[in-house]
Amino acid sequence: MPQSMDKAITKKVLSDSTIYRETTMAAFTKTCEEVIQAITTVVRPRLGVAVARQLLDLHPIVPTFYNLVKTHKLSSATDLSTIGPDDIRTRPIISSCGGPSDRLSWLLVKVLSPLLQFVGAHIVNVDDFLASLSQCKIPSTASYASFDVTSLYTNVNNNNAVDAVISLYQQHQSQIPSMGFNANEIKIMLDAVLACNIFCFNDKIFEQRRGLAMGNRIAPLLAIIFLDHIERMSLTSEILLYKRYIDDVFVIGCDKTEVEKTLKRLNTFDDNISFTIEEPDDDGFLPFLNTKIRIVDGRGAWFSCTDTHT
């Protein structure tokens, strides 16, 4: 992509004042101090001076901002030589490697990742999804679809996401290697790393005002558990299978009406979180991750790159 196009896309993204605004180096310094405070008051008493020193970065860099183009959203007929910035959809990334939150985020991922085993909808890859699908008993009346969360990361309510993580942590702390951290200490560390939402672009300093910063190590885990909180209040026994990879969902309901009701319930809990639906094509196939799924008379079939399975 030409540099001029990249800059034009980024300027368009950053023009959304509900998500981004300019800030100062003083604000960046403040976020660095919050991380240092969390490491000093929380990590050091639990894990010792040596570990705390490894996590401290006294000279962090200001994260940079870039966009990842959603190439799968581009039509095969798209002429890349004439396409404009308004026609390209992207994922905004704040590259946090070397930034103030990077090391503490690494620790939080290590402590909190075991919680994902308690998120019923969570899948880690296609094989995980297909294993769940193959075990699902599907009646002939069943209906299936996929849901997608629009711009999940920038629309997450961070406070609610932290609350969801803390709630799950309190329920299962005795079942995971918690390193001795209590729920309040986890919250202090999460708040510190989430405050590190400041970045530079084109020699200017910006902050992300809303949502999770993609590029922060802990962001995917927070997003997964945040949606789990919404799903627990939305799913009923009439949903036979509900599996999600970050923000992509595959759902099977006892009938089409139940799938539609579930979509409606999911969309009632947060004004900024919007689930959209994709239904099977005329041949009954529905793309999900890197597979295509078809269910006929209670039997599922799928194919990926070269193999077909039933």
> What's the CA dihedral at 106, 108, 109, 110 to 10 degrees?
90
pLDDT score of 307: 47
pLDDT score of 306: 42
Residue 297 has pLDDT above 50, yes or no: yes
Confidence of residue 7 (pLDDT cuts 50, 70, 90): confident
pLDDT score of 97: 93
Domain of 30, in residue numbers: 3-309
pLDDT score of 204: 96
pLDDT score of 79: 54
Residue 193 has pLDDT above 50, yes or no: yes
pLDDT score of 203: 93
Q: What is the pLDDT of residues 124-138, one digit of tens each?
A: 999 999 999 999 999
Residue 210 has pLDDT above 50, yes or no: yes
Burial class (CB in 10 A: 0-12, 13-18, 19+), 267: middle
Q: Give SS3 for 215.
A: coil
Higher pLDDT, 172 or 202: 172
The pLDDT mean for the chain works out to: 91
Helix (H) or strand (E) holding 103: helix 102-112
Pairing of strands 198-201, 20-22: unpaired
Residue 10 has pLDDT above 90, yes or no: no
pLDDT score of 199: 97
Q: What is the pLDDT of residues 92-136, one digit of tens each?
A: 999 999 999 999 999 999 999 999 999 999 999 999 999 999 999
Confidence of residue 20 (pLDDT cuts 50, 70, 90): very high
> Could you give the C-alpha distances from 150 to 131, 192, 274, in angstroms and in order?
27, 26, 6
pLDDT score of 83: 65
Give the count of domains, the chain.
1
Residue 1 has pLDDT above 70, yes or no: no
* Mean pLDDT computed over 13-20: 94
Q: Which amino acid is at 46?
A: R
Helices and strands (DSSP H and E) totals, the chain: 11, 13
pTM above 0.85, yes or no: yes
pLDDT score of 308: 42
Structure tokens at 212: 């999770």
Between helix 158-172 and helix 219-232 the angle, nearest 10°, is 80
pLDDT score of 302: 79
pLDDT score of 303: 72
Cα of 202 vs its chain's centroid, Å = 27
Residue 48 burial (CB count, 10 A): 10
Q: What is the pLDDT of residues 37-88, one digit of tens each?
A: 999 999 999 999 999 999 999 999 999 998 887 655 555 555 555 565 566 6
